[in-house]
Amino acid sequence: MGKKKNRKYYIILATLFLVLVVVELLKPKTIDWTLTFSKEKTTPFGSWGLYKLLNEKNQTETNTISLYEYFKNNQSPKNPVIITDVFKPDATDIQKLFSHVESGGSALISAFSFNSTFSDSLNFEVARSFKNDKIGSYFHNPHLNSNKHYPIQKTNFAAYFSDFDSTKTNILGYNGIDSTNFIKIMHGKGYFLINLNPFLFTNYEIINEANYEYPFKCLAYMDMNSIIWDEYYKPNKFVASTPMRYILRSKGLSSAYFVLLTGIIIFLLFESKRKQKIIPIIRPPVNLSLSYISSIAHLYLHKKDNIGIINKRMRYLMEHIRLKYYLKTHTIDKDFIQDLHDKTGISRKKLRLLFEQWNAIRSKNRISFSELSSINHKIEEIYKLGL
């Protein structure tokens, strides 16, 4: 009799679990448009893609504590890069940050708005303009604009500086309504880079062919070898303050939690008279669906677009050469290779072999995986040699 009761309990529990799994599988996938700007998030408004690409160029450290704690605990601090919706440091954070910049450091902060303590300290004000058409950004320096402007797809407002101290400020960029949205504020021996367009630093915009260059050109105003990525001043960082709230906010964990509760209730109703056994932990199913963004390289590889991968890698390489060594890259000839050799110390032969192979395949519509592997190996080799 006891075995039949046990079987009934397990059948009911298994049926409920299967129903839940089927419902989850058949339910249409929804895109999470939450603003996170986090390097951990592959959602549209996370910044996983940007951080991944930064790490490919330079090993980028991450900061997960306040600016006050970071500068207090580091004798040789790096320059912070902060991407968020609202930048709200407290007075002690501001004091340490200003001291770092005043002594010759720098900081890039991209946000839609700032608390008054910070903005008043640098003498600027921010306003918004609402538009129905697409809003973008462009640089004050025309040589940095590959396109007429960098469009944004998922917003109908533009933040801009309504006031700033012109004696200490250089204008670096504008938005689509010709209002200033990117400035450089001198402070002591260093400077602040204040940007009002954090959308252009997200996954959604960086996979856009028209926009992927924008964040790197903003960061080019800093020493790329001496930056630290911020994960502390992010939106909703402290929302999940208890374990239960974290579980209920996660779809997979909340489903497993309610299945567990249902199983306990059924057990109490049907098996309360028998000796209770240990209930095994039911692990939530691993989500093996494709992430919204894997990376630009993985996107091309998934499409087997080998020529697209190499063109993208070479474009980053040439951009790196222009920004770091101030060389013109529109003509690849003996003089260019000699100049690059003089500045980097990399042998002319290695440089010549790379550019000759690229020149041989760039006009092709398709290349084999072995050709892709060969030229990629040459690119990696010259990076390792100190490019």
Mind giving me the DSSP string for 3-18?
Answer: HHHHHHHHHHHHHHHH
Asked if residue 207 and residue 312 are part of one domain, the reply reads no
Asked if residue 313 and residue 220 are part of one domain, the reply reads no
- pTM attached to this predicted model: 0.59
Highest mean pLDDT among 43-57, 91-105, 199-213: 91-105
Highest mean pLDDT among 90-99, 141-150, 293-302, 355-364: 90-99
- Amino acid occupying residue 299: L
Rounded to an integer, the average pLDDT of 216-230 is 93
What is the overall mean pLDDT for the chain? 83
Q: What pLDDT score was predicted for residue 22?
A: 66
Asked if residue 186 and residue 86 are part of one domain, the reply reads yes
Q: What pLDDT score was predicted for residue 287?
A: 44
Asked if residue 192 and residue 95 are part of one domain, the reply reads yes
Give the total number of structural domains in the chain: 2
- Amino acid occupying residue 362: R
pLDDT over 70 at 323, yes or no: yes
Rounded to an integer, the average pLDDT of 345-374 is 89
Phi, psi of 377, deg, nearest 5: -60, -40
**pLDDT, tens digit, 9 for 90 and up, residues 116-127:** 999 999 999 999
Cβ contacts of 286 within 8 Å, gap of 6 or more: none
Q: What pLDDT score was predicted for residue 250?
A: 61
Instruction: Please say which residue of 195, 230, 265 terminates a domain.
Output: 230
Q: What pLDDT score was predicted for residue 21?
A: 61
Give domain status of residue 293, yes or no. Answer: no
Instruction: Please say which residue of 230, 247, 262 terminates a domain.
Output: 230
Give domain status of residue 274, yes or no. Answer: no
Instruction: Please say which residue of 174, 202, 230 terminates a domain.
Output: 230
List the one residue out of 346, 98, 316 whose CA is nearest residue 224.
316
Q: What pLDDT score was predicted for residue 330?
A: 86
Domain coverage including residue 371: 304-384
Asked if residue 320 and residue 224 are part of one domain, the reply reads no
Tokens matching residue 231: 């994960």
Asked if residue 316 and residue 212 are part of one domain, the reply reads no
Rounded to an integer, the average pLDDT of 359-376 is 86
CB 158 within 8 A of CB 175: yes
Which secondary structure element, helix H or strand E, spans residue 322, and what is its range?
helix 306-325
CB 253 within 8 A of CB 247: yes
Share of the chain above pLDDT 70, in %: 75
Q: What pLDDT score was predicted for residue 279?
A: 65
pLDDT over 80 at 353, yes or no: yes
Q: What pLDDT score was predicted for residue 173?
A: 94
Q: What pLDDT score was predicted for residue 278?
A: 63
The CATH number of the domain holding residue 158 is 3.40.50
Q: What pLDDT score was predicted for residue 48?
A: 94
Q: What pLDDT score was predicted for residue 301?
A: 55
Tokens matching residue 230: 């911020």
Q: What pLDDT score was predicted for residue 13?
A: 67
Give domain status of residue 225, yes or no. Answer: yes
Asked if residue 315 and residue 214 are part of one domain, the reply reads no
Q: What pLDDT score was predicted for residue 189?
A: 97
Asked if residue 342 and residue 211 are part of one domain, the reply reads no
Share of the chain above pLDDT 90, in %: 44
Give domain status of residue 13, yes or no. Answer: no
Q: What pLDDT score was predicted for residue 294?
A: 43
Compute the distance between CA of residue 84 and CA of residue 93 in angstroms, rounded to an integer.
16
Asked if residue 209 and residue 347 are part of one domain, the reply reads no
Rounded to an integer, the average pLDDT of 128-142 is 76
Which secondary structure element, helix H or strand E, spans residue 204, and what is its range?
helix 203-206
Asked if residue 211 and residue 98 are part of one domain, the reply reads yes
Q: What pLDDT score was predicted for residue 284?
A: 56
Q: What pLDDT score was predicted for residue 290?
A: 38
Compute the distance between CA of residue 70 and CA of residue 63 in angstroms, rounded to an integer.
8
Q: What pLDDT score was predicted for residue 4?
A: 59
**pLDDT, tens digit, 9 for 90 and up, residues 161-219:** 999 999 999 999 998 778 999 999 999 999 999 999 999 999 998 888 778 889 999 99
pLDDT over 60 at 369, yes or no: yes
pLDDT category at 93 given cuts 50, 70, 90 is very high
Compute the distance between CA of residue 269 and CA of residue 14 in angstroms, rounded to an integer.
16
User: Could you please report the per-residue DSSP string of 234-284?
Assistant: -TTTTS--SHHHHHHHSHHHHHHHHHHHHHHHHHHHHSTTSPP-PPPP-PP
CB atoms within 10 A of CB 166: 10
Asked if residue 224 and residue 340 are part of one domain, the reply reads no
Token pair 């080799």: residue: 381
Q: What pLDDT score was predicted for residue 239?
A: 47
Give domain status of residue 285, yes or no. Answer: no
Q: What pLDDT score was predicted for residue 83?
A: 98
Give domain status of residue 249, yes or no. Answer: no
Give domain status of residue 68, yes or no. Answer: yes
**pLDDT, tens digit, 9 for 90 and up, residues 252-309:** 667 667 777 777 776 676 665 555 556 667 665 544 443 443 455 555 555 667 888 8
Q: What pLDDT score was predicted for residue 25?
A: 60
Number of residues written out for the chain: 387
Asked if residue 197 and residue 54 are part of one domain, the reply reads yes
CA geometry: angle 252, 254, 256, nearest 5 deg: 70
Compute the distance between CA of residue 184 and CA of residue 384 in angstroms, rounded to an integer.
33
Give domain status of residue 218, yes or no. Answer: yes
